[in-house]
């Protein structure tokens, strides 16, 4: 059974008519024309489909659209602000992508990490990025890019008294 659902995607309202259990991924890609969020595994194991739901990274392939009503959905197309800009710049400067397929999910997870922790350790990065698979194995460049982005955001660091 389908029903109209109103979503807030990248800061704008969007109305779709789908089943409540339709995965958010398919609503974003097929109904709203936002192809930056990729399909990888369909079981939340690869992280390719990562989006932010009220600022928290979630796997859109297993998130029913009904669980997103009343929450802000941010996709790779809508990610913005100083943290996102620092991550995107670091990704480019360090040539992180190889094939690029996983990169939207990687960037979304990295942005969420740096918004929560402006000075992550390697262990923090590993924990936050766990589940974001890169078939090309660019993990060292991903970690370096996250550290580089963090280093460019000193204003976000908390100053100890």
- The pLDDT assigned to 155 comes to 61
Mean pLDDT (the chain) is 94
User: Helices 103-116 & 82-93, crossing angle to 10 degrees?
Assistant: 130
Q: Residues 51, 37: contact at Cβ < 8 Å?
A: yes
Q: pLDDT value at position 160?
A: 46
157 pLDDT more than 60? no
pLDDT digits (tens, 9 = 90+) for 81-118: 999 999 999 999 999 999 999 999 999 999 999 999 99
Average pLDDT over residues 10-16: 98
**Selection from 160, 114, 152, 130 nearest residue 47 by Cα:** 130
The span from the first CA to the last CA of the chain, in angstroms, equals 57
In this model, does residue 22 exceed pLDDT 80? Answer: yes
Q: What percent of the chain has pLDDT over 90?
A: 93
Question: Can you tell me the distance from the alpha carbon of 4 to that of 132, in angstroms, rounded to the nearest whole number?
Answer: 32
**Cβ-based neighbours of 118, under 8 Å, separated by 6 or more:** 150, 153, 156, 157, 158
Q: What is the reported pLDDT for 53? A: 98
Residues 70-81: tens digit of each pLDDT: 999 999 999 999
Report yes or no: 79 and 107 within 8 Å, Cβ to Cβ.
yes
């Amino acid at each position: 059974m389908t029903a109209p659902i109103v979503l807030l995607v990248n800061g704008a309202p969007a109305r779709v008519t789908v089943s409540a259990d339709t995965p958010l991924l398919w609503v974003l890609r097929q109904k709203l024309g936002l192809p930056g969020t990729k399909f990888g595994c369909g079981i939340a194991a690869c992280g390719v489909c990562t989006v932010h739901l009220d600022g928290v990274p979630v796997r859109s392939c297993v998130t029913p659209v009904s669980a997103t009503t009343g929450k802000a959905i941010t996709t790779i197309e809508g990610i913005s602000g100083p943290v996102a800009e620092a991550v995107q710049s670091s990704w480019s400067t360090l040539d992180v992508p190889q094939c690029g397929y996983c990169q939207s999910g990687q960037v979304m997870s990295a942005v969420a990490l740096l918004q929560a922790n402006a000075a992550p350790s390697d262990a923090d990065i590993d924990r936050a990025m766990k589940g974001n698979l890169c078939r090309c194995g660019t993990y060292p460049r991903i970690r370096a890019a996250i550290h580089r982005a963090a280093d460019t955001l000193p204003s976000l660091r908390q100053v100890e008294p």
